Structure 1
Amino acid sequence: MELRHLRYFVTVVEEQSITKAAEKLCIAQPPLSRQIQKLEEELGITLFERGSRPVKTTEAGMFFYEHAVQILTHTAQATTMAQRINAVDKTVRIGYVSSLLYALLPQIIYLFRQRNPDIHVELIECGTRDQIEALKTGRIDIGFGRLRLTDPSIKRVLLRKEALRLAIHKNHHLAEFKDKGIYLSQILDESIFAYPTTPKPNFSTLIQSIFTELGLVPKHLTEVREIHMALGLVASGEGISLIPESASDIGMKNLIYIPILDLEAYSPISLSVRNMDHSNYIPKILDCIREVFVEENIDLRAIDADA
């Protein structure tokens, strides 16, 4: 059995017509029919109901179709990934979520570039959710994200647990907690702005999951497009917002940031790579992360345990 036989079969199933499938595959109808018949003989099963119009797949044929699609998909992904790994000595494409530009990512990328002048680095803004598929298809080689996502074909290294802070207007009644900190249970009646409005899961999903984990339900939680809009609304006195600690460096007037005392209130920052990727750029960038973390007095135990 060859991959082309699987492609022929899948196309016939999806087009529900030998004629249309032949046109799509750019081959004549009689050879396509013979290949399908040959595949049935090799498998020892009937894939299509005889004489049906449009072409109908048998129960066994549908089962085989589902697995044939998976095989073709995995083959295409493996081919793309192998091509990217082979070419990675020239270019490394790094996906990142935009909020990490306020954290240590720029320092890490700069150090990596200085240490590896022979490698071209291309930065691609890409949400954590989309990074998984981008890694599989070879659109990126490394992903820096914030969500707790898992996939069997992706290796995820937890770099740190970044604390969250509560952004409020300087004249907000919660300002009294600026120095001593606040628990999330104390803000359930407030108007909370979460972000972004991109497809879930996203950072807004993380915020809601933290409340759920603590058994809390905020009464007025509104999703807005992105972090700058959330902070702009807070600066206007419209409500409050939960943000990563590093984002408190965004220079917006009239805002203060309160530490959150709940241990669950953190954003996991992780590095993701393809599970079978053993390219030498991975330990190189991990070395750069360690060096930056040491300079910033950040605990290395999490990264050294997972690396």
Structure 2
Amino acid sequence: MSAALYEHLPHLLSRLGEKYPDIHPKLIEVSTNEQIAALSRSEIDIGFVHPPLGTDERLDVHDYPAEDLIAVLPDDRQTHGVTLADIARHGLIMFPAAQGPALHASIVDTFTKAGLDVRIVQEATRALTMLSLVSTGLGAALLPRSTQRLVFQGVRYAAIADASLPAWPLAVIAKRRPRPTIVDSVWKLLDGRPDVT
């Protein structure tokens, strides 16, 4: 998940390198649904996902605090916050509904409840793609606050002044036990528990 890249994953990889220097994780960037399917097939051990999870798979889930959404707009050299109407005027660059149906519907519903008809001008599955499209002037995007860590020419980040958009949820998942000892040790690091092995 792009949202894990800016804060949680670097912290985890640093802790993992300190505690288990012989572990060399292989990172794969795929959607929540693809991660759940890959866990089910034992192709991956742990995943960063956006809840809610539409699966009957028996999983351990560790939720991180959800992040506020901010607006990302073509850089107009302004520094003030923006309104939902400002965002709607640009048109929205958004992740596909299938990638996060509940969050997608909640975002669109926020505009509808404000009496705004927001046009989705382009779908994109990755934050960097969204930033690139915003920088060309194609539209505006809504991304987690941690995205501001990326300095991206041609865009500006702005707080949303007149509405409370849904927060961007993030969790880490793994198959329930029994699981390999090393996976269990990494899970305990993620969950903040001391390793007992």
What interval of TM-score do these two structures reach, taking the shorter chain for normalisation?
Answer: 0.7 to 0.9
Is the 2:103–2:166 contact (alpha carbons within 8 Å) kept by the matching residues of 1? no
Partner of 1:145: 49
**Counterpart of 1:206?**
103
Residue of structure 2 equivalent to 1:229: 129
Give the direction of change, closer, same or farther, for the CA distance of 1:127–1:228 in structure 2 (3 Å limit): same
- Aligned partners of 1:183, 1:210: CA distance in 2, in Å? 14
**2-structure distance, mates of 1:149, 1:214:** 24
Structure label with greater radius of gyration = 1
Q: Larger % of helix: which? A: 1
> Distance between the aligned counterparts of 2:101 and 2:148, measured in 1?
17
Matched, 1:190 2:90: yes
Pair 1:244 & 2:144 matched: yes
Deviation at 1:188, TM superposition (A): 3.3
Structure 2 residue identity aligned to 1:221:
I
Q: How does 1:38-77 map to 2 (within 5 A)?
A: none
Count residues in correspondence: 185
Aligned equivalents of 1:112, 1:142: Cα separation in 2: 13
Partner of 2:160: 260
- Distance across 1 between alignment mates of 2:168 and 2:178: 26
Match of 1:5 in 2: none
% of aligned pairs identical? 23
1:115 is aligned to: 19
TM-score, length of structure 1 as denominator length: 0.52
User: Helix, strand or coil for the counterpart of 1:187?
Assistant: helix
Q: Tell me, in whole angstroms, the C-alpha distance in 2 between the residues paired with 1:232 and 1:205.
A: 25
Deviation by residue 1:224-283 (Cα, 9 ceiling, x = unmatched): 334333322322333211112122222222321111354443210101111334633311
CA contact 1:132–1:154 (8 Å) conserved in 2: no
Contact 1:192 1:241 (C-alpha < 8 Å) held by counterparts: yes
Residues 1:187 and 1:132: Cα distance change in structure 2 (over 3 Å): same
What RMSD in Å do the two structures reach over aligned CA positions? Answer: 2.9
Q: Is the 8 A contact 1:160 1:269 kept in 2?
A: yes
Q: Say whether the 8 Å CA contact 1:127–1:202 is kept in structure 2.
A: yes
